[in-house]
Amino acid sequence: MEKKKYLTVAPSQLDKRAVNISITTEGYQAFRVCSERTDEFLADIFREFTTEELETFCTLLRKLYRFDGQEQEDFEENMDFHTSDTERVLQHHQKYLKRRTDNHK
């Protein structure tokens, strides 16, 4: 990923045993493209599902994830988005819903 310039790696100034990894502008762009393609793929997969079926599916996934007593922390409603991300995330979801709805017709 460093060779593709998606992130930078630098020695830590505080701890010589550690390194600091930072995502680059190219990395954010690659993530955005990948995320959009994933949403398109998922919209196509779930186009025949009703909203109620998707909610049931998510509930069942949560139950499967916590089979060992651990709550799943990576569901979006538990994520802490920065205010600057909110508009982008909202647009992203609206695009997903539109594609899923358009494909369902």
Can you spell out the DSSP letters for 24-79?
Answer: -HHHHHHHHHHHHHHHHHHHHHTTT--HHHHHHHHHHHHHHHTTTSPPP--SGGG-
For the chain, domain boundaries:
1-32, 46-104
**Contact yes or no for 21/7 (Cβ under 8 A):** yes
Mean pLDDT of the 63-74 span: 75
CA distance 75 to 52: 18
Residues near 75 by Cβ (< 8 Å), separated by ≥ 6?
A: 58, 62
> Which residues are 7's β-sheet partners?
23
Rounded to two decimals, what is the model's pTM? 0.52
Q: What integer best gives the mean pLDDT of the chain?
A: 80
In this prediction, residue 105 has a pLDDT band, given cuts at 50, 70 and 90, of low
What SS3 state is found at 9? strand
CA distance 54 to 46: 8
What confidence tens digit (pLDDT) does each residue in 20-59 have? 999 999 999 998 889 888 888 888 888 888 888 988 988 8
